[in-house]
A and B are shown apart, each in its own frame.
Chain A
C-alpha cells in the first residue's frame, strides 16, 4: 500500500519534472530511421502537392554552424549544405556544413564545383555515424535580407526537380548582428508555370534599391516555410550552464560599434529611395485616383517603416551603451562637485 502511494507520488513528481526540463526521450528526434525515410522517398507525396512541405525544424547545432559560417564570410556570400530528414510535412535539419566555394550571384550552379567535396564529406559522415542525407542548401545574403534572387530561384527549381526533398535557406548575418535576432528564411519554389492560388502574406523586410528589382520579379515563384528550432536535453542543460559564463558577453556587446558601416549603408539607401518616392509623388498629384489601392503601400509609407526599423536598432544599441556607462562610470559623479554637472540628465545617477 505504502509503496504504491510512494511510487505514484514519485511518478507524479517525475512527470512534473519532465515537463519542465526536456525529457530525454524527446531526443527521439535524433534517431534516424532508415527504413521509414526510404519509404517516404519512394512515396513522394510532394510530387502532387506543390505546397506540401510547410514547416522546417532546425537543430541548435545547424543554426549555430550556419550563422557562424555566414558571418565569417563578411560581405561575401557563402554557401553550404544541410543534412537531415523529413517528417510528414516538415523538413528537419540536423546539421549543416560549409562548402568551399565563394558564392557569387552570377554562378548558376555553384554546387557543380563542390560535388566532390560533398560526396567526400557525406561518406566520411556516414562512417562517423551521421546517417542523414542532404536535404537542402543554405547561403547568405549579407546585408540585403532573406529572399531568393533570380539565380537562387533557378538553382532551387533545378534542385527540386532532381534532388527532392530539397530546401533553400537564406541567412543574413549582418542584419542578425544589427537587429540582435537571427535573420533567417526557408523557402521552396513552385515549379515553372504554377501560380499559387492564394497570396501568402509574408513578413515585410526592407530590400536595398539595387536588389529590389530582382526581388520583385521572382517573389511570386516561391513560398516561405515556418521555422522552429529544437535542441536536445543535453544541449538545453549545457546552454543553461553556458549562460553562467556568457552574461559577460551580453553585457559587453556593443552593436553600435560593430555595425556602423551597415547602418550608414542603410541610411544612404533610404535617402535614394526617398528621392525616388519624391519623383513618384510629384507626378501623381491630384484627381481621384480611381479605386483606392489598399493593398500596395505607397513608397513613402514603406520608407517610413524602414526608417523606423533603423532607428529602433540604433536606439537599442545606444541604450546598451548608456546602461554600461551608468554601471561602470558613475563613480565619478560623487567626485565631481555640483557646479560641474554638465552631462545630460538621463545619464547622471542622482
Chain B
C-alpha cells in the first residue's frame, strides 16, 4: 500500500494543522474516557490499558498553486465507521462557514488518526473525490513513542494501480515539508518552550533570543556531523560508495558561500550601520533624558539659596 508517490506534487504542512488534529483527538479521548475524579498519582499513571482510542476524522483545507499544495487549516467531520457513511450536510455546512472567513482555501482532502492507513479509509477517500479529484489523506499517529525522532504524520495520495488485472486505488505515501509564517513560528516556539512572555529585563530577552538561535545552530551542527561521519566512513571504505549521495553533498558544498557579491556586502553594511545609528540615537535620548533630570534636580536644590540672580524664571 505504501510505495512512494509519483505525482510530483510538493506538499507543505502548517503546524497549526498538526496541533489541531492533536487537539481534536485529545478532546474526543477525554470525553469518552473521563478522568478519575480523585487524582491519586501513584496508581493510575503508566498503567493505562490500551483503551481503544477512538479514531477522529476531519477535513483539511488549504491552497494549491501549480504543483505546490499548502495545507493551512482543518476542521472536524462526522463519520460513522459502522455504516461507512459520511455526514454530507455537516460537511457542506462547515465548508460554507470556513469559506466565509477564509475565502481562498478549499478542501484538499481529509485527515484521521491511527497507526496505519486501512482499507476502510478508501471509502471516505472515494467519497471526497467528488469535491476534489485527487484528495489527500493525512494520517497522524497519536501514540506517544519517546524513541521516535520523526513526526508521526504521513500524507498519502491515491493512485490508480493495476493489481491482479483490476485497476484499484491504493494509497501511496508522499513526502512533505513543514511550512510556516513568522507569527506561527513564534507562537509555536512560545508554547513549545514556554518562553518568558512578559517583558523581563533586556538581559532575559537577549538570552531568550540567543538561546533560540543557539539551539537551531546546534541542530545544524549535529546534522552536519552525521554527514561528515558518513563521508569519512565512505572514504575509509567501511560503507559502500553511493554516488547519488555524494553528488548531493557536493552540490550542497558548492552552494557555500551563500552570497558573495559586492552589492550584498554594501547592503549588509548599510543595514549594520542603520542599526548602529539607531543604537546611537537611543543612547543619545537616554543621555539627554538623564541630563534633563539632573538639571531639574540641580535647579530644585540650588534655587532656594539664590532667589535673585540669573536663574529665576522667565517664561
The interface of chain A, by Cβ under 8 A from chain B, is 10-11, 14-15, 17-18, 21, 23-25, 27-28, 30-32, 59-61, 63-65, 67-68, 70-71, 94-95, 97-100, 117, 120-121, 124-125, 127-131, 173, 176-177, 179-182, 184, 203-204, 227, 229, 231-251, 253, 255-256, 258, 267, 274, 281, 283, 285-289, 298, 300-301, 303-304, 307-308, 310-312, 314-323, 325, 327-332, 343-344
Contacts and interface: CB of A to CB of B under 8 A. Distances in A.
A117 B93 CA distance: 11
Contacts of B289: 298, 300-301, 303-304
Interface in B10-56: 15-16, 18-20, 22-31, 34-36, 39, 41-42, 44-46, 48
A321 B271 contact: yes
B305 interface: no
Contacts of B229: none
B259 interface: yes
Nearest to B35: A28
Contact of A285 (B18, B36, B285, B315): B315
A234 B16 CA distance: 14
Nearest to A78: B101
SS of B interface (majority): helix
Given A65-B20, A251-B216, 10 more contacts: A18-B46, A64-B184, A67-B186, A68-B184, A127-B90, A181-B196, A184-B197, A235-B19, A235-B22, A329-B259
A128 B186 contact: no
A267 B292 CA distance: 21
B208 to A, nearest CB: 7
A242 B16 contact: no
B100 A100 contact: yes
A340 to B, nearest CB: 12
B217 to A, nearest CB: 7
Contacts of B191: 60, 63-64, 229, 231, 235, 239
Contact of A124 (B23, B25, B93, B256): B93
A250 B260 contact: no
A227 B19 CA distance: 20
A304 B285 contact: yes
B299 to A, nearest CB: 6
Interface in B223-272: 256-260, 265, 268-269, 271-272
B272 A318 contact: yes
A95 B15 CA distance: 16
A130 B75 CA distance: 11
